[in-house]
Amino acid sequence: MTDQNSAIAETQGHRNLLILLFAGFVLSGIATTIVGPMLPIFIRRWSLDDGQAGLFSSVQFLAALGGTLASSAIAGWWGYRPALVMGYALMGGGLACLNADKHVVALTATAAFGLGYGLITPGTNLFVAELGGAKSASLLNQLNFAWGAGAMICSPLIALALKRDGLGILLAGTAVFGGVLVLGLLFASFGVQKHHNDANTAGAASASIGFGVTMALAAMFFIYVAMENGVGIWSAEYAKRLANGITGMTTLAPMFFYAGLTSGRAAAPLFLRHLAERKIVLGALSLAAAATTLLIASRSLPVATAAVFVAGLGCASVYPIYIAWLSRWYGAAAKKIGGILFALASLGGSAGPGLIGAVSKYSGSLRIGLLVPLTGAIVLLCLVLLLGRQTAA
């Protein structure tokens, strides 16, 4: 009876912790994507060119790279809690200072919440993957649905705040949200539930994973996040140029991308019951490539908005399934290897939008800059096809 009560208490503790982690990923979705709808404001406020504007995303995800590397080291010594607590504290503080009058302060604030994002992402994903066991892909899609929900509401919240001259109040509210998460995580139980059978299976599978597969998976993490962030962050500015000015719809453009992302992640657990993970990834990447092509070819705001939504839908299930493959293929080694892969994902998040801005600046066309995520989608398709035997599910 004691063991049964202990198991019940552990399950309840995990449920409470999952609620905190899912809520935290809502805030993470806001923090990760807020640069997109803020970018036209920054460009107008400080007369930035596309290269300078792309620096915001580069700073954010380079800081996230540092946070990811630090998270792995911290988790190895002290467990998940310290990195998560520090991450949400930095995230809340950075968001509170984002709407600064000085360019350098806004960049520093961006680095702060980027560092926070890097600290919380690896531990949260790997912890949830461990709890999910054989159903990790489904649970990770639900977790990243929460992230997508935060990303989706970010643009309308910014648009509403700008309309009511309440941007400072909105950002202060996100800081309070971060503070509540910090307090909750300080008292939450992090007793990890072990899935012995799943771990043994993953350990056996990891023996067949060679260096070439690891390198391919690393490239997939890097390229995917570069592609997703590139489209998400530049969609508001692209829409603004189509409309010849900032409007409510142009500010909301990233919302449509993340609405597609969130819708796809909500539906993914249903599709995962009937389709192999590899088939879902191949179909999703094909859809993302087609939508990005339509976005580049668009000449009107409605067409561009539809293309952005479909691009988000195509991106929806790809990253959670990558994380599930990481956890399943490498077993106990996933924590060590995952730190490297999540760091590469952060580096991709920095490189993608920055590269779009650089290509746009030197070509004189943001349309040409968007060839960067299109190329990324095509490369990812090729990599998944090359890994067909390992990714069959």
pLDDT of residue 203: 44
pLDDT of residue 77: 79
Question: Which is higher by pLDDT, 339 or 388?
Answer: 339
DSSP 245: S
Place of tokens 């994903």: 125
pLDDT of residue 202: 42
195-217 average pLDDT score = 58
Least confidently predicted of 209-218, 242-251, 276-285: 242-251
Residues with Cβ within 8 Å of residue 171, at least 6 apart in sequence: 95, 96, 97, 98, 99
pLDDT of residue 250: 76
> Which tokens is 339 given?
């730190």
> Which tokens is 351 given?
């490189």
pLDDT of residue 191: 65
55-63 average pLDDT score = 86
Residue-range domain boundaries for the chain: 2-391
CA distance 63 to 330: 27
301 close to 249: Cβ distance less than 8 angstroms: yes
CA distances from 218 to 3, 242, 348, 379, 389 (A): 41, 35, 10, 13, 17
Angle between helices 103-132 and 334-363 (to 10 degrees): 140
Query: Does the pLDDT value for residue 84 go beyond 50?
Result: yes
pLDDT of residue 161: 92
140-199 pLDDT, tens digit per residue, is: 888 988 988 898 889 889 989 988 889 999 999 999 999 999 999 998 877 654 444 444
CA distance 215 to 77: 27
DSSP-based three-state secondary structure for 86: helix
CA distance 306 to 246: 18
311-326 average pLDDT score = 90
CA distances from 358 to 54, 72, 73, 159, 226 (A): 8, 31, 33, 27, 14
Give the number of other CB atoms < 10 A from CB of residue 8. Answer: 10
Least confidently predicted of 139-143, 188-192, 323-327, 363-367: 188-192
pLDDT of residue 189: 76
pLDDT of residue 336: 74
pLDDT of residue 13: 53
> Which tokens is 312 given?
């988000």
pLDDT of residue 196: 40
* Percent of the chain that is helix, strand, coil (3-state, to 5): 90, 0, 10
pLDDT of residue 97: 94
Which of the residue ranges 142-156, 187-201, 319-333, 356-370 has the most confident prediction, judged by mean pLDDT?
A: 356-370
Give the number of other CB atoms < 10 A from CB of residue 246. Answer: 18
pLDDT of residue 159: 86
368-377 average pLDDT score = 96
pLDDT of residue 367: 93
CATH of 2-391, one of 3.40.50.150, 1.20.1250.20, 3.40.50.1820, 2.130.10.10: 1.20.1250.20
